[in-house]
Amino acid sequence: MQRIAVIDYGMGNLRSVSKALERVAPGDEVVVSSDAAVIGASDRIVCPGQGAARDCMAALHASGLGQVVLDTVDTRPFLGICMGLQVLLGHSDENGGVPCLGVVPGNVTRFDDPLADAGGARLKVPHMGWSPVRQTREHALWHGIDDDARFYFAHSYVCEPDDDALAVGTCDYGRTFAVALAYPGFFACQFHPEKSARDGLALLANFVGWDGR
């Protein structure tokens, strides 16, 4: 049995994430924790998040869990979800500009407003609902998931890594942007797998069995 820690820094939809993990990993221990020692001793780590960048970063620093993320993100399989992706970049333009953790060089920028599709039709910001995700390169967490499978999104800001090769998934919503980034040891996605029905659960199940390479 392995332990999967869901980081609780006060800014995540923790119950839905933990329940989804329990469903795909019934033989494992899923813990929601703000204890650095518990998280550091876990086999796999999930960092969810929702809300504004300033609030998320303030909560990570106040709790000391930002350092926990930095200490663990490349030492065992790590999954970032929504703001758990955005905080890994270097800087967010939200709230007038917020320094983030800097694990991935790059910036988080807002969608254009007004935003339109290729035909000129107005698109709403935030981007909320189901959108197809294009798999730009192979990754273990895509196993069994069709290219252009639809995942659930809720966000107004998008990630722009300095190195485009880090993107393993993209989405088109007024523009093409990265929605899944991967380094050795971690995978982070803008969409919510815990809210994305069968394909979301498949991604979480793949994470539970992923060796981190």
Among all residues, which ones are annotated catalytic?
A: 82, 192, 194
d(CA 174, CA 20): 30
Q: Report the residue count for the chain.
A: 213
- Residue 3: strand, helix, or coil: strand
In order of 2, 23, 46, the CA distances from 18 in angstroms are: 14, 9, 9
Pairing mode, strands 127-132 and 122-123: unpaired
Mapped onto helix, strand or coil, the DSSP state of residue 136 is coil
Q: Where are the beta strands (DSSP E) in the chain?
A: 3-7, 29-33, 44-47, 78-81, 89-92, 98-99, 104-110, 115-116, 122-123, 127-132, 134-135, 150-155, 157-161, 167-172, 176-183, 186-189
Q: Cβ distance 128 to 152 under 8 Å?
A: no
